[in-house]
Amino acid sequence: MDTADGIAAGAPGGARPRKRAVRRAQSASMADVARLAGVSSQTVSRVSNGYSGVAEETRRQVLAAMKELGYRPNSAARALKSGEFRTIGVITFGLSSTGNVRTLEAIAVSAAQEGYAVTLLPVAVPTQDEVRGAFSRLSELAVDAVIVIQEVHLLDEATLSLPPHIQVVVADSDAGDRFTVVDTDQAGGARTAVRHLLDLGHHTVWHLAGPEESYAAQRRADAWRAELTAAGREVPAVVRGDWSAESGYRAGLGLADEPDCTAVFAANDQMALGLLRALAERGRKVPDDVSVIGFDDIAEAGSFLPPLTTVHQDFAEVGRLCVEGVLHRMRHGGAEHGTTLVPTTFVVRESTAPPPAARRPRP
Amino acid sequence: MDTADGIAAGAPGGARPRKRAVRRAQSASMADVARLAGVSSQTVSRVSNGYSGVAEETRRQVLAAMKELGYRPNSAARALKSGEFRTIGVITFGLSSTGNVRTLEAIAVSAAQEGYAVTLLPVAVPTQDEVRGAFSRLSELAVDAVIVIQEVHLLDEATLSLPPHIQVVVADSDAGDRFTVVDTDQAGGARTAVRHLLDLGHHTVWHLAGPEESYAAQRRADAWRAELTAAGREVPAVVRGDWSAESGYRAGLGLADEPDCTAVFAANDQMALGLLRALAERGRKVPDDVSVIGFDDIAEAGSFLPPLTTVHQDFAEVGRLCVEGVLHRMRHGGAEHGTTLVPTTFVVRESTAPPPAARRPRP
DNA sequence: GGGTGTTATGTTTACGTAAACATCTGATGG
DNA sequence: CCATCAGATGTTTACGTAAACATAACACCC
């Protein structure tokens, strides 16, 4: 019974173990399909990959066999053979920020359209060590390319440990000299915001900045300063938060006590939200007493009290361009680096108005 | 010059092409390391996988060779050999909801701790077709197991196309009979919220529900109704939104006009935000005139105007349990299904207070 | 001092796929 | 009627790893 193939059990050496029978019930291989269809496995491969040069009749038989066995190409074998994983790794420092998430989503969608999967490489704390860890984990990972979202001044050396053939594109950072970068036009957005407030008649604009370590925060702050300077206005001291609404609230309590602060440009919407709360608590009306502008245009911004005027970032476009960039570099060889800027749009809602001084004289 | 190895170029048949020399500059293989270290590739494998039974001296040599060549194990080959990808696929219907994202993040972190990577399977529109598409794409993908975040009544048949050995765990859904489910204790959270409002003295509680298709929304609504009924209170008509702040605002305009509406339980924080805006616009003070409770406890909830009392969901725990569950099923065979509930915590902030009627008599 | 382990290492093989090469069939053309 | 060719299909091999199976060296014990 158990030597069904006719070879005597005791035959010396010849009794090759019947592994096949015991094998895991996993999916069928090309060989299985080939056997059932009565063709060679190579023909199955040709059908599977849509090559021409297979007779219509044969093709149909193979397809039928595939269906019957529930054949699925084994991506590990395919990857081993081709040297490609068809997967893009994405390194993020936390998914707490809306921007990161929206970008990630767009990356996943774009990648899927190109037939690529997206693997997530979460980095808990954005320290050098952690980042280097992610990169080295990644290099053992089934990934053809990497997209890094945000804050890449930490990458300086970490990159060294990357396999040389892996392409890297960075979203939302500078370092255009060392990497291919896709970024929102932070400066342009910030300038528009400041200009809008000046145009409304505000004498100057205060800035509720993001954390010092962040390049995005830094660039928004720089642009704010530049725009004020260009207009010959005085530049108030920077107030700093950490992107969170809570930090915006704390900073806002201070700003509320500045009597001549009539306009604030917050570096993101969350901090603007906290700022709104602080101002409300201190009895300073927005926009009548103080105008507020945010950055990002998160989904909830239109429902703040009052609805927030803000700078809309096109995260979807950033994500799309990241994928495009990384695939381009993979296919056409990693050429020189550079930065692609995605423009922002300015969304005017109800949190901005002329300053009290400009309106008081009228009635 | 070009036949440097000494075999005459014209040698018939024997001139096996020198492929090695032309090979891609990709990373070194075990064989390369073995050659350099002067051992067999099996020994390299043993070192690479941390097996015992390798002499300390040999191990050091191998490690040195690995370092010199920058050796990285090829995960495709490893996966092919072992039949495991060490990757978990995550299917989400959009990353727009905070809950999904936080759960995803926790999944990624937990998976990483277990040495698993996470691959994202975005489904643009949650239709049967789309879901089925994701599942079939997935089955060609390098994935050992799948975690589905949210709304799985769409999966009924789609599952059929899944390779049999792939384990599935579902977050935030019902279907505990067909799948292994990890879910927040929606009912418990909702009841606590309603009870809190009743205890404050409100006669009854209105409900701003999520979309009908959502099981989470449905369960929150059911629990709200059950709690009111249990307390013998009348059950107001359900007002429905679509989770967005904007929909909460629209629904809120209607609620603001209900004179005897003194307490609203919103099915999520975003809608609560919109509701707050609507009430503010209509001059109904929160919490003096109307109490509002949300659900989720998103990061910004503490900065709303007023800071929102809400039901805190432990998304991190949900994510962790999903990974744990899926790994358990992989290792110990997919046993029976069931639902694991993660408790909520109730966060009291400033959006709830006794109803006007209860307070007015006093002063 | 010949078994008997034990430890360190090498050799063979298979995983599933697909490129490269080989073969086989039948048709076309001179 | 055979050379030539194109199309369809089969055979061999390699991808990098690791399990399974040798083998070799050396220590230990009665």
pLDDT in tens, B14-52: 333 333 333 344 678 999 999 999 999 999 999 999 888
Residues near chain C (nucleic strand), Cβ < 7 A?
Answer: A 16, 19-20, 23, 26, 29-31, 41-42, 45, 48-49, 73-74, 77-78, 80-82; B 17, 38-43, 46, 52-55, 57-59, 77, 80-81
CATH number, domain containing residue B66? 1.10.260.40
Residues 136-165 of chain B with CB under 8 A from chain A are: 137, 139-142, 163-165
Q: Which carries the bigger pLDDT value, residue A162 or residue B268?
A: B268
Domain range for A236 = 186-314+346-359
In the predicted structure, residue B12 carries a pLDDT above the cut 50: no
Whole-number pLDDT of residue A276: 97
Selected for mutation to probe chain A from B26, B300, B315 (highest A CB count within 10 Å) is B300
Give the residue from B303, B308, B349, B350 with the most A CB atoms within 10 Å of its CB, the best one to mutate.
Answer: B303
Q: Which of residues 46-65 of B touch A (CB under 8 A)?
A: none
Which of these, A133, A178, A188, lies nearest to A152 by C-alpha position?
A: A178
Specify the pLDDT at position A165.
Answer: 75
Statement: residue B242 has pLDDT above 90: yes
Q: Which residues of B97-135 are buried (b: 16+ CB within 10 A; e: fewer)?
A: bbbbbbbbbbbbbbbbeeebbbbbbbbeebeeebbbbbb
Q: What are phi and psi of B119, to 5 degrees?
A: -110, 135
Contact (Cβ atoms closer than 8 angstroms) between residue A344 and residue A192: yes
Amino acid at A347: V
Q: Is residue B106 part of a domain?
A: yes
> Between B218 and A357, where is the model more confident?
B218
Whether B3 maps to a domain, the answer reads no
Highest mean pLDDT: which of A111-120, B170-179, B264-273?
Answer: B264-273
- Given an 8 Å threshold on Cβ–Cβ distance, is B276 in contact with A112? no
- What's the Cα-to-Cα distance from A126 to each of A131, A141, A246, A329, B260, rounded to whole Å? 6, 20, 21, 26, 51
Q: Which residue has the higher pLDDT, B299 or B24?
A: B299
- Residue B152's pLDDT band, with cuts at 50, 70 and 90, is low
Q: Cβ contacts of residue B20 below 8 Å, gap of 6+?
A: none
pLDDT at B322 over 70: yes
Q: Do B223 and B353 lie in a common domain?
A: yes
Q: What is the pLDDT of residue B304?
A: 96
Residue B192 has pLDDT above 80, yes or no: yes
Q: Which two tokens stand for residue B293?
A: 């409770």
Half-sphere exposure of A281 (CA within 13 A, CB side): 21
Query: What's CA A276's distance to the chain center, in Å?
Result: 28
CA dihedral A150, B116, B48, A91 (to 10 degrees): -10
| Spatial distance between the Cα atoms of A252 and A258, rounded to a whole number of angstroms | 10
pLDDT at position B151: 65
Average pLDDT over residues B339-346: 95
Q: In A, which residues are within 8 Å of B94 by CB distance?
A: 105
pLDDT tier at B112 (50, 70, 90 boundaries)?
confident
A256/A208 same-domain check: yes
One domain, residues B132 and B274: no
A37-75 pLDDT per residue, tens: 999 999 999 999 988 888 999 999 999 999 999 888 998
In this structure, are A169 and A124 located in the same domain? yes
Q: What is the pLDDT of residue A161?
A: 59
- pLDDT (mean) for B259-288: 96
Task: Compare B166 and A107 and report the one with higher pLDDT.
Answer: A107
The pLDDT score that the predictor gives to residue A9 is: 32
Residue A305 has phi, psi (to 5 degrees) of -115, 105
Residues A191 and A303 in one domain: yes
Question: Measuring from the CA of residue A54 to each C1', which nucleotide is nearest?
Answer: D8
Which positions in strand C are less than 7 Å from the protein's CB atoms? 7-12, 14-21
Which single residue has its CA nearest the C1' atom of nucleotide C9? Answer: B43
A285 touches chain B (CB under 8 A): no
Higher pLDDT, B71 or B205: B205
Query: Is B235 in the same domain as B351?
Result: yes
Distance in Å, residue A38 CA to nucleotide C22 C1': 20
Domain assignment present for residue B196? The answer is yes
Residues B296 and B223 in one domain: yes
Nearest chain B Cα distance for residue A107, angstroms: 10
Confidence of residue B171 (pLDDT cuts 50, 70, 90): confident
Ranges of chain A with pLDDT below 70:
1-26, 124-128, 131, 136, 139, 151-164, 176, 334-335, 358-363
- Would you call B163 helix, strand, or coil by DSSP? coil
Query: Residue A96 and residue B25: Cβ atoms within 8 Å?
Result: no
Cα–Cα distance measured from residue B95 to residue B216, given in angstroms and rounded to the nearest whole number: 16
Residues B309 and B321 in one domain: no
User: Which among A26, A108, A302 has the least Cβ separation from residue B165?
Assistant: A26
- Whether residues B214 and B355 fall in one domain: yes
- What is the SS3 assignment for A260? coil
**How many domains are there within chain A?**
3
Q: What is the pLDDT of residue A6?
A: 31
CATH of the domain at B92: 3.40.50.2300
Question: What pLDDT score does A164 carry?
Answer: 67
Angstroms from B230 CA to nearest CA on chain A: 34
Q: How far is B295 from chain A (nearest CA, A)?
A: 15
Question: Could you say which DSSP state residue A97 is in?
Answer: S
Q: Are residues A302 and A334 in the same domain?
A: no
Q: Determine contact, residues A262/A355, Cβ cutoff 8 Å.
A: yes
**B17 within some domain:** no
